[in-house]
Amino acid sequence: MRSTDELVDRIVSSSKIPARRRRQEIRRELCAHIEDFVAAARAAGHEQNEIEKRVLASFGDPEQIARGFAWVYRYQRRRLRAIAFTLSTVLLASCLLALALATQAGLAFSLGRPVMKVIASPHMAIEALDIVASVAAYLAVASLENIFASHRFLKAALTLAVILATLVAIDAAAGLHMALPLFGFATGIFFRAVKLFVTPTVARVAIVVVCFPLIGLGLALLRAPLSLPALTSMYASWLVLGMGYQLMTHLAARLDAALMSGLERIHAGY
């Protein structure tokens, strides 16, 4: 019966059960239950149309059933989500860090500076920390958005901001002097906003080519005056990194989906 098949599909697809094999088992259990119900209804002499109506009525609200399954499997889903988040952060941050290192090495070589000295400098360590924080913030906001029904980005960004403010307060109160990469977190939220709200390609290119590098130059000039070659080198570095972040926004969702699919297969015993 098509209507009952659609009912089972709606329940299973909305159940958010992480393991595919478990979803298939539940599908078979639901179908078996329906078959038993249909057999009993036919034995009682009911017509086909009436049987379908009785099946739909006996099951109740499919969304409520799906929410029940989602509640039962919430811890497994959260564990897989945390693993996928960690792997996505490591993979994307590693790619961006490799891009940043290659850019810095190329600029150092073209300017006649010691390449290894530039790569091993404290500035590169700070930049690496910012890259990791940027990727983590972008993915965190994207994940937190799934919690909310409306104004999702705003609420997700505010939630992350509260978490960061709490960490800053703890650091200040305890005197831990943690190197919190706040600029990196702000960068991740910034590019998530660009991904969601800036649709024209020209505007996105302008943000990467103009706005993002200028922000970096402005912050650098606040610390100390720079020569023209240094400004040019820094602009090129920020431009390449901005392009990397822009690419990240296109790859993040696909990578996350691929990782979740792979983790579900592993979790199911495949």
SS3 per residue for 173-224: HHCCCCCCCHHHHHHHHHHHHHHHHCCCHHHHHHHHHHHHHHHHHHHHHHHC
Token match 């891009």: residue? Answer: 99
Q: Check residue 228 and give its pLDDT.
A: 76
Closest CA to 134 of 175, 56, 194: 194
pLDDT above 80: residue 3: no
Report the candidate in 85, 97, 123 with the shortest Cα–Cα distance to residue 244. Answer: 97
The tens digit of pLDDT for each residue in 199-222 reads 888 888 888 888 888 888 887 777
Angle at 125 between CA 121 and CA 131, to 5 degrees: 140
| Of 154-158, 188-192, 261-265, the least confident | 261-265
pLDDT of the residue at 42: 76
> Are residues 204 and 230 in contact, defined by beta-carbon separation less than 8 angstroms?
no
pLDDT average, residue stretch 29-44: 75
Cβ-count burial 222-232 (b if 16+ within 10 Å, e if not)? eeeeeeeeeee
Alpha carbon distance 208, 214 (integer Å): 10
Higher pLDDT, 31 or 249: 249
pTM for this entry: 0.76
Burial of 195 (0-12, 13-18, 19+ CB in 10 A): buried
Q: How far is CA 183 from the centre of its chain?
A: 19
Q: Quick one: CA dihedral 9, 11, 12, 14, positive or negative? A: positive
Which pLDDT tens digit goes with each residue over 90-128? 999 999 999 988 888 888 888 788 888 878 888 788 889
Mean pLDDT of 74-93: 86
Of all residues in the chain, what percent carry a pLDDT higher than 90?
A: 26
Amino acid at site 228: L
The confidence score (pLDDT) of residue 138 equals: 96
Candidates 237, 244, 245; CA nearest to 104 is 237
Over 60: is that where the pLDDT of 269 sits? no
In the predicted model, is pLDDT for residue 21 greater than 80? Answer: no
Q: What pLDDT sits at residue 17?
A: 67
Structure-model confidence comparison of residues 230 and 125, the more confident one: 125
Q: How confident is the model at residue 156 (pLDDT cuts 50, 70, 90)?
A: very high
Per-residue confidence band for 57, with pLDDT thresholds at 50, 70 and 90: low
